[in-house]
Structure 1
Amino acid sequence: MTGHRLSRPLRGVRHLVLGLGTVVMLAPFVVMVATSLKPKEEIYSPEFQLLPHRLGAAENYHEALTQVPLLHFLLNGIIVTAAIFALQVLVNVPAAYALAKLRFRGRTTLFAAVLVCLLIPYQATALPIYILFYWLGLLNSYAALVLPFTISVFGIFLMRQFFLGVPDDLVDAARIDGMSEYSIVWSVMAPAAIPALVAFGIFSVVAHWNDYFWPLIAVGEQGLYTPPLGIAHLKLNGEGTAFGPLMAAATIVIAPLVIAFLVAQRCFVEGVVFTGMKG
């Protein structure tokens, strides 16, 4: 009983901290959406008001969609992020399976190399990759936006942690049934790892959908711009002062991520929890 009484204040403090953290995290997004709904005179008003007195959403969203081909930029983002995730799955799942379930010399060393690679920011390798793509003639193409991220060391680590929790008896039974290692990966392990794949997919899509650094370097043609480059292009067209259309464009760009997360929320939480429990 005493322990229960002591835990109540602790739970209250925890909920308070989480609530404050939620407010801090969501405040910029609330202001962004509210600004996208305001007319220009209210945006530049010296008095801050969260809710607009007069809706200016129609003009802001219309300008965001017409000043630049924002829908085309969104399509580019979908193509790039989907291609990156598909290639990452093709590479990460077999690699993680090998590190988790196969016994071979050097396995521990390879996994240590994966952990080391987690510490290397991709900005550090941007210049060598740019020079390589220049020699190969791949700059200003979808390949330039996709190929550098085909291998995800974080994805390999995450999937390996999940596969460690899959019973070895299941793998052995598949081998006794005559399944090849390749068939085991895609017919047994991959279906069991759907929550982990969804969790990794959320991380991957969010990271590459919002990536501004590499697309800014790799492509120069407007037709290949991704959503962050599109917002930057809109800002330059409006000389950086069209805050209403800018916030409208940012809301349009973020909306698919929010919808995707809400749809996949349960699988995302399960994937993170299950991979975190594996040793």
Structure 2
Amino acid sequence: MNKTNRRVLGVHVAVAAGGVVMLGPFVLMLAGAFLAGNPLGGELSSRFTLDHFRDAWAALDWPRVYGASLLVTGAIFIAQVVTSLPIAYALARWEFRGRRPTFKVVLVCLVIPPQVTAIPIYFLMSGLGLLDSYSALILPSVGSGFCIYLFRQFILAIPVSMFDAARLDGVGPVAMLWRVVFPQVRPALVAAGVFSVVSHWNDLYWPSVMLTTDHIATVPYAVAGVSGPDSTVPLSVQLAIAALAALPLLVCFVLVQRHLVRGLVLTADGE
């Protein structure tokens, strides 16, 4: 085996090992959810059963929980697109004083964890009387440095000739954003949408800070209420609940995976 083949083999072994690490817990979750027995005691039988999923469906009000998460994640992503795309267009194609410092601020926002700003945002939401509401779950996540960065990099890949041709046709700045930029950045919108939806669908921290009741509980908040070492719900049912919580994300990824890969392959060079 020559050096090139050894390198290729090493890459495949590393990828396979990473796949096992990533998919192993998911496979164990499905095994415990679909097979009869006690996974905590290592007693899994080969008998296939849906009883755990029936109990899991009865343990939570899934239509309400799914609806709350869909509302929150959908509203956050739409608001992020509406606010981030114009900023990204300005940073990519407009010449104005302070453009580079503004872009550096966006980069800094990428590395600030939400826990840093949680306390002041909590007091702000409390002062506005918005605690335990959809507004408290949605508004703090409207601004997205990641979306601004991703959209900017993709806009930089759009040929300048397209903007020049549109200006010659009398297209103004707002119409330029809608008629030229938006159709070209659709793959980036899909990529940003996947990251945004996955992040906020799985977010337990922010609902735990903002919610005091479970009437608008999102999926992680509701799942946390019936899971854990002190829960009276059997472990097999908890695994089935986790599978139901992840199911919408799995379906979403399967539907958009091709567009996601295309959106992440950016050819623009950052400034």
TM interval, shorter chain, is: over 0.9
CA contact (8 A) 2:38 2:235 kept: no
The 3-state SS of whatever aligns with 2:266 is helix
CA contact (8 A) 2:56 2:238 kept: yes
User: RMSD across aligned C-alpha pairs, in angstroms?
Assistant: 1.8
Paired residues for 1:39-50 under 5 Å: 39=36, 41-46=37-42, 49=44
Amino acid corresponding to residue 125 of structure 1 in structure 2: T
- Residue in structure 2 matched with residue 263 of structure 1 by the alignment: 255
Gaps of 5+ in 1: none
Q: Please list every run of at least 4 consecutive aligned residues from structure 1 whose deviation after the TM superposition is greater than 6 angstroms.
A: none
Give TM-score, length-normalised by structure 1. Answer: 0.92
- Residue in structure 2 matched with residue 26 of structure 1 by the alignment: 23
Tell me which of 3, 10, 14 is aligned to 1:13: 10
The 3-state SS of whatever aligns with 2:136 is helix
Distance 1:46 1:189, change over 3 A: closer
- Residue in structure 2 matched with residue 36 of structure 1 by the alignment: 33
| 1:57 Cα offset (Å) | 2.3
- Residue in structure 2 matched with residue 229 of structure 1 by the alignment: 221
| 1:9 Cα offset (Å) | 1.5
| 1:121 Cα offset (Å) | 0.5
Q: Which moved more, 1:85-94 or 1:266-275?
A: 266-275
Tell me which of 57, 63, 70 is aligned to 1:71: 63
The 3-state SS of whatever aligns with 1:259 is helix
Gaps of 5+ in 2: none
Paired residues for 1:170-249 under 5 Å: 170-235=162-227, 239=231, 242-249=234-241
> What does the per-residue CA deviation read over 1:149-180, in whole Å, with 9 as the maximum and x for residues that have no partner?
10100110011111111111111211121111
Give TM-score, length-normalised by structure 2. Answer: 0.94
CA contact (8 A) 1:68 1:233 kept: no
Q: Does 2:50 align with 1:57?
A: yes
CA contact (8 A) 1:64 1:234 kept: no
| 1:45 Cα offset (Å) | 3.6
Counterpart CA distance in 2 for 1:257 and 1:127 is 29
Counterpart CA distance in 2 for 1:272 and 1:31 is 30
Amino acid corresponding to residue 228 of structure 1 in structure 2: P
Counterpart CA distance in 2 for 1:30 and 1:228 is 20
Amino acid corresponding to residue 38 of structure 2 in structure 1: E
Sequence identity percentage: 39
Counterpart CA distance in 1 for 2:130 and 2:229 is 28
CA contact (8 A) 1:162 1:278 kept: no
Distance 1:38 1:79, change over 3 A: same
Tell me which of 65, 78, 87 is aligned to 2:79: 87
| 1:278 Cα offset (Å) | 3.2
Counterpart CA distance in 2 for 1:172 and 1:140 is 49
Amino acid corresponding to residue 183 of structure 1 in structure 2: A
Amino acid corresponding to residue 50 of structure 2 in structure 1: A
> What does the per-residue CA deviation read over 1:68-103, in whole Å, with 9 as the maximum and x for residues that have no partner?
212311111111000000000001111100000001
- Residue in structure 2 matched with residue 124 of structure 1 by the alignment: 116
Distance 1:233 1:156, change over 3 A: same
